[in-house]
Amino acid sequence: NAGVTQTPKFQVLKTGQSMTLQCAQDMNHEYMSWYRQDPGMGLRLIHYSVGAGITDQGEVPNGYNVSRSTTEDFPLRLLSAAPSQTSVYFCASSYPEAGGKQETQYFGPGTRLLVL
Amino acid sequence: DAKTTQPTSMDCAEGRAANLPCNHSTISGNEYVYWYRQIHSQGPQYIIHGLKNNETNEMASLIITEDRKSSTLILPHATLRDTAVYYCIVRELNSGGSNYKLTFGKGTLLTVNP
């Protein structure tokens, strides 16, 4: 298994440009999520999905859209990039918890985004 | 989810045990204690979790106090590759939706010195 993969690894955008950060997992996990991490900060949840066709907002959803058309993929779209969106973006996935078993989350390697 | 308090940084000598404390005095009965770590420039990595009892796996041990208000992550023989930020997270038992999310604080930067 490749686990959780993210593309691109690095991206530079100009203010106002749009782009999509890709996230894919091959573990058949139902739950997927996007976090952003700013320097010296912990991770903050942007959006998450508990299954194909179902998405919801996290702590910092403004300026981002997501969709979940398949179990494997969970792309994050920046509609009109702003310098405040300069960050490292991590995608994560896990099985849903069942029978009281707490499933762990697996994180991708991250996408480093710079918005000028 | 309950809030956690961790020291900002700690040092440890290579080969020695690293003991990382975490306070979670407002933890509720349904909340598990999770530990993740993040090596520089990488995504977070799961280490261990527990509810009441002490837990051990191939990476670490987790000691939870009887009142569950604090815990300690133990790396028995720290190596240079264990230098990372360690996050202690408390999280409710499965209830779906946004409870899948992990709330990361600033964690503890553990530096393992040669």
Three-class secondary structure assignment of chain B: CCCCECCCEEEEECCCCEEEEEECCCCCCCEEEEEEEECCCCCCEEEEEECCCCEECCCCEEEECCCCCEEEEEECCCCHHHCEEEEEEEEECCCCHHHHCCCCCCCEEEEEEC
Task: Kindly state whether B40 is in contact with chain A, defined as any CB-CB distance less than 8 angstroms.
Answer: no
pLDDT single digits (tens) A14-72 = 999 999 999 999 988 888 999 999 987 788 999 999 889 999 998 899 999 999 999 99
In the structure, what pLDDT confidence band is assigned to residue B106 with cuts at 50, 70 and 90?
Answer: confident
Mean pLDDT on A106-111 = 94
From chain A, which residues contact B within 8 Å (Cβ)?
4, 31, 33, 35, 40-45, 48, 50, 56, 58, 90, 92, 94, 96-98, 100, 102, 104-110
Task: Kindly report, residue by residue over B48-67, the tens digit of the pLDDT.
Answer: 988 888 999 999 999 999 99
Give the mutation candidate from B47, B52, B100 for the A interface (greatest A CB count, under 10 A). Answer: B100
Kindly tell me if the per-residue pLDDT of B95 is higher than 70: no
Give me the total of CB pairs closer than 8 Å, taking one residue from chain A and one from chain B. Answer: 68
pLDDT at B60 (0 to 100):
96
Please state, for a pLDDT cut of 70, what percent of chain B lies above it: 90
